Structure 1
């Protein structure tokens, strides 16, 4: 009986140990799963604190270095306040952070204090400190310390991952900002200086003695007008893009007739269009569309201006509008050079300019502004090469009235 009882006790102990190990592995797996895809630091810290507190039935504090490098409490499980009223406890956490060694209850360093202080160690250094205080017992069992060290290891990796991701994002933002700054500077120097030089030259000529015929004076005045219009389009594009990116550009929706929108845009560009062949094909009895008339007109002007720039002077430009299901679809097509397939999506990026055999002026913002305006209306915009040669740019706007084809 004694032997049987001893064997039973050992068996129960092994079963309990196995169950405990299984629970530890499950807890570690659950934490690693919870924090694996979390992108922001606050959510990572919240997951770590909650899981550790639930597993060991205690209070948990996470400290990370602040902007000045000193430790700050970033999260804790204790409701109603901070777990670090005592400067001595914060000093101990700082020692753990600086030395990269555990301390406190259950360790060989200051074992008489209440909590267990664990460094969050990675190859890149100590990321912070995890502090745990048990609720229902005075000291930590060795297996509890091992589990908490494993939790601290996972926490360190997660915190380091989020910090590295943030550094990468900031670096990418800086690179993008520098690229945009350079592109904007180049565009300013080219697209403002050229029309300004034309205006100054024409005005200087007009201020001279009356040596020009009426026809010559009219040509000089037209040069001034065209230069001023180019500068106006340039500044308008810059302001529109700034408004779109800041969220300050608000839609003033009204019921619009797309035929009116296209007609106004064509009229505004009459000087630029000149005698260029222009074919307009608008579906009969198109329904009205709820949109910002001025902004959709701006889209049309930008698309027509783009077609003018990237096609030969005597080639035809066509505009069509039709209803497709619950969408209004408008297409502007030119007979210019085809766009490489890999660049069809890029042409809507800010300051992106495709290589063209034709000398083209402009900021590279026109199509990016079109994309922002159309997407703000809930529509889409894209480009495709046509089978006849040339490029078609298509955009859609949602219809809210039933469509009855004629």
Structure 2
């Protein structure tokens, strides 16, 4: 094309512009150089410049038809014409290259924007896989496949991609575990016609992207590699967003379910309180009357009274736990002696213990603790009742206190079978029981009710692993009256 354009310029000048000054014809040749540089680039413009100088000498400088010149001044003209032509061609080719780079960057930005927008509306992993494969095919002229781990950690494709070269499972697992790319252009299995790219975010590696281009050399261009890396970051971010969205939705549903359950428990417990109070009062009167008359039914009446008391205690636990977890419980802390609150709890629990002795180790019975009295008693009652129920009648149960200037650790212990291994934390969940098939009566409320109650009235609660159980609520304490 450079030769053809130079020939056309020469023919036009010889046919219609012979009367023009030589300097004007030089401008026409320089215009041709600019056009060649714009359309075809730097080296065709250099060729066109040389051909233009030769054509100008042959056809417009005397003697015509030869490269000789009759006037040595034309040598300067040829030199300037060649220099200016080369400069103009080089600058024009540079502008052309910059325009091409700008178009490429604009196209890349558009692809990234469209891909990010498409990924943002994806609602499933299948949507993300389909979107990523479609954009990689249009941008890189490549087939691709998204691999994600299943519940067992096995990497599986989400879509079927016909014609894709089967990948090496061991290399794919290595790339996923190490978070490093493999395949073509890497140090790991470089001879294959595909690349395996990990989908990494700041948190973890979410999966792999297998890319097999039609032109592998084109994909190895650094600019293309950077664009492909950006694509993988977008896909990883989309997968992370899906996971976080699912986690947030699950947390929201759990919170709503818990709130509804607490509201139901609070309403149910509140409605049961009044009839249970009346029933307990009647059972107590009946027990006293039968006992005073020496009736043989007095033990049965006392058993009814005790069961009503246990049911009332359970309902109170449910109501208080629901109130605490919903934030509607107001603590009324006061300074009480340790002997007073422990003794009150033991007196209330005495009928349920069946004569079982509780070992006390209170170095300073007059130790002051800053607690909500009724709630603190309920914590102790629940812990002791739970120990009595599960440790057995022959087990030893005790309360041990240790205090410094600021804190009191009150330990409720037993030497029974203890909490099953692995359930040290789950045992505090609602309805959780150490042995679900146990014949021991209960619904799994004692320890769950202790945690919110004790953490409200205590500074913290911990479970100490040992033979038997050691549950230690810690309270603010003073050695002297405040």
Given the two structures, how large is their TM-score scaled by the length of structure 2? 0.44
* Match for residue 4 of structure 1 among 69, 76, 87: 87
Classify 1:283/1:357 alpha carbon distance in 2 versus 1 (closer, same or farther; 3 Å). farther
Classify 1:150/1:220 alpha carbon distance in 2 versus 1 (closer, same or farther; 3 Å). closer
Classify 1:161/1:322 alpha carbon distance in 2 versus 1 (closer, same or farther; 3 Å). closer
Q: Deviations over 1:184-206 (max 9, x none)?
A: xxxxxxxxxxxxxxx99999999
Please state how far the C-alpha of 1:273 moved relative to its aligned partner. 2.4
Question: Is the 8 Å Cα contact of residues 234 and 363 (structure 1) preserved in structure 2?
Answer: no
Q: Give SS of 2:87's match.
A: helix
Q: Deviations over 1:76-131 (max 9, x none)?
A: xxxxxxxxxxxxxxxxxxxxxxxxxxxxxxxxxxxxxxxxxxxxxxxxxxxxxxxx
Q: Give SS of 1:393's match.
A: strand
* Match for residue 384 of structure 1 among 464, 473, 481: 464
Please state how far the C-alpha of 1:390 moved relative to its aligned partner. 1.9
Please state how far the C-alpha of 1:26 moved relative to its aligned partner. 11
Please state how far the C-alpha of 1:343 moved relative to its aligned partner. 1.1
Paired position in structure 1 for 2:440: 360
Question: Is the 8 Å Cα contact of residues 310 and 358 (structure 1) preserved in structure 2?
Answer: no
Q: Deviations over 1:213-238 (max 9, x none)?
A: 82513212212211211211121122
* Match for residue 248 of structure 1 among 317, 328, 339: 328
Question: Is the 8 Å Cα contact of residues 363 and 402 (structure 2) preserved in structure 1?
Answer: yes
Question: Is the 8 Å Cα contact of residues 277 and 314 (structure 1) preserved in structure 2?
Answer: no
Q: Deviations over 1:260-304 (max 9, x none)?
A: 221111111111124212111113377533221221111111101
Question: Is the 8 Å Cα contact of residues 262 and 326 (structure 2) preserved in structure 1?
Answer: no
* Match for residue 308 of structure 2 among 222, 228, 237: 228
Larger radius of gyration, structure 1 or 2?
Answer: 2
Q: Give SS of 2:364's match.
A: coil
Please state how far the C-alpha of 1:361 moved relative to its aligned partner. 2.1
Please state how far the C-alpha of 1:362 moved relative to its aligned partner. 2.8
Question: Is the 8 Å Cα contact of residues 337 and 365 (structure 2) preserved in structure 1?
Answer: no
| Structure with greater helix percent | 2
Classify 1:336/1:200 alpha carbon distance in 2 versus 1 (closer, same or farther; 3 Å). farther
Paired position in structure 2 for 1:397: 475
Task: Kindly indicate whether residue 390 of structure 2 is the aligned counterpart of residue 307 of structure 1.
Answer: no
Please state how far the C-alpha of 1:363 moved relative to its aligned partner. 3.1
Task: Kindly indicate whether residue 372 of structure 2 is the aligned counterpart of residue 292 of structure 1.
Answer: yes
Rounded Cα–Cα distance in structure 2 between residues aligned with 1:322 and 1:22: 71
Classify 1:359/1:201 alpha carbon distance in 2 versus 1 (closer, same or farther; 3 Å). farther
Please state how far the C-alpha of 1:258 moved relative to its aligned partner. 2.6
Q: Give SS of 2:296's match.
A: helix
Q: Give SS of 1:342's match.
A: coil
Q: How does 1:29-108 map to 2 (within 5 A)?
A: none
Paired position in structure 2 for 1:122: none
Rounded Cα–Cα distance in structure 1 between residues aligned with 2:305 and 2:294: 16
Q: How does 1:321-360 map to 2 (within 5 A)?
A: 321-323=401-403, 326-355=406-435, 359-360=439-440
Paired position in structure 2 for 1:278: 358
**CA-atom RMSD in angstroms:** 5.3
Mean Cα deviation higher: 157-166 or 343-352 = 157-166
Classify 1:396/1:13 alpha carbon distance in 2 versus 1 (closer, same or farther; 3 Å). farther
Q: How does 1:137-286 map to 2 (within 5 A)?
A: 163-169=245-251, 214-284=294-364
Please state how far the C-alpha of 1:309 moved relative to its aligned partner. 0.5
Please state how far the C-alpha of 1:154 moved relative to its aligned partner. 9.5
Question: Is the 8 Å Cα contact of residues 287 and 301 (structure 2) preserved in structure 1?
Answer: no
Rounded Cα–Cα distance in structure 2 between residues aligned with 1:12 and 1:202: 102
Q: Give SS of 1:250's match.
A: coil
Task: Kindly indicate whether residue 399 of structure 2 is the aligned counterpart of residue 316 of structure 1.
Answer: no
Question: Is the 8 Å Cα contact of residues 257 and 287 (structure 1) preserved in structure 2?
Answer: yes
Please state how far the C-alpha of 1:345 moved relative to its aligned partner. 1.4
Please state how far the C-alpha of 1:380 moved relative to its aligned partner. 2.3
Classify 1:309/1:6 alpha carbon distance in 2 versus 1 (closer, same or farther; 3 Å). farther
Q: Which runs of 5+ in 2 are unaligned?
A: 1-83, 116-230, 266-280
Q: Give SS of 2:297's match.
A: helix
Classify 1:253/1:213 alpha carbon distance in 2 versus 1 (closer, same or farther; 3 Å). closer
Paired position in structure 2 for 1:58: none
Classify 1:265/1:340 alpha carbon distance in 2 versus 1 (closer, same or farther; 3 Å). same
Classify 1:17/1:247 alpha carbon distance in 2 versus 1 (closer, same or farther; 3 Å). farther
Between the two proteins, the alignment pairs up a number of residues equal to 270
Please state how far the C-alpha of 1:322 moved relative to its aligned partner. 1.0
